[in-house]
Structure 1
């Protein structure tokens, strides 16, 4: 499987899905995973809006290392496509909020358009920047399946 094919598969998964599963770790050392609507900015940066009081937001304020999975849960068993990331996440800084709010609100017509001012209080804009990337290759892949699902690095990582 060429790297170009793997990268295209990963890009297709990112572009086709609206939610990502965000994995954080609490002060107690226990993991917490939550789905969030996201807007990608390429394949390295992901934006979402959340309350700063939500558990995942409190977790990443203390520990910015996160894990992300993006996948389509509506496909039949055995037909999965997925991408996985390790990333650093944080609030979008105020001086970048206008531009980031425009990116975040641009993805889907049904997404409410948020102004930067609306994302400075009860709802905040967060950004994860991927540090490692993988794509799922299913065991049944007609060209590259080995019988077992595997993940392969993508995007030059």
Structure 2
């Protein structure tokens, strides 16, 4: 465990279970409804896509997308490896806070589609005229499931010479439960 330094990429691992860092991460998840999915094609071309998302109490993320979309195709090509960033893009420079995840994603199991649709509807605040069939079989869309394996939240900005360096706090996923 160590403080954020240039040698470790400015990542603080000492505060990984710090209640303030965990509370900050929970607040970001509760208040921001879009995340950026970061995927990569099989031949190494990166792609970022903003999507509306929801999550469950085990910190699994869910969104719906077209199967043919570039980010979905990248998931199929790379065993689901991806990263997610959740942040409020409307704050002024130097005030940003985010939570960042690395993990894997895949199409949601058909038996879970109806329940996850309800999570998506609840988070959006509206019920859409859709059924589970709208995401199964011949449908051009699917619901995707992401399971994080690592997480970081925005840390302090450290003064280094006449510059400020942004840091991250690695979050211990075992102690981080999703906000309700």
TM-score with structure 1 length normalisation? 0.88
Question: Does residue 132 of the first structure (1) align with residue 161 of the second (2)?
Answer: no
Greater displacement, 39-48 / 82-91: 39-48
RMSD: 2.0
Partner of 2:32: 17
Tell me, yes or no, if the aligned pair for 2:39 and 2:74 is still in contact at 8 Å.
yes
Number of aligned residue pairs? 152
Partner of 1:144: none
Structure 2 matches for 1:1-157, cutoff 5 A?
Answer: 3-42=18-57, 44-63=59-78, 64-110=80-126, 112=128, 114-120=130-136, 121-139=139-157, 147-156=164-173
Q: What is the alpha-carbon distance in structure 2 between the residues aligned to residue 43 and residue 71 of structure 1?
A: 20
Tell me, yes or no, if the aligned pair for 1:80 and 1:138 is still in contact at 8 Å.
no
Tell me, yes or no, if the aligned pair for 1:21 and 1:34 is still in contact at 8 Å.
yes
CA 111–37 in structure 1, closer or farther in 2 if over 3 Å, else same = farther
Superposition deviation, residue 81 in structure 1:
0.8
* SS of structure 2 residue aligned to 1:9: helix
Tell me, yes or no, if the aligned pair for 1:24 and 1:56 is still in contact at 8 Å.
yes
Q: What is the alpha-carbon distance in structure 1 between the residues aligned to residue 127 and residue 157 of structure 2?
A: 36
Superposition deviation, residue 155 in structure 1:
3.9
CA 138–26 in structure 1, closer or farther in 2 if over 3 Å, else same = same
* SS of structure 1 residue aligned to 2:165: coil
5+ residue gaps in structure 2? 1-14, 159-163, 175-180
* SS of structure 2 residue aligned to 1:139: strand
Superposition deviation, residue 119 in structure 1:
1.4
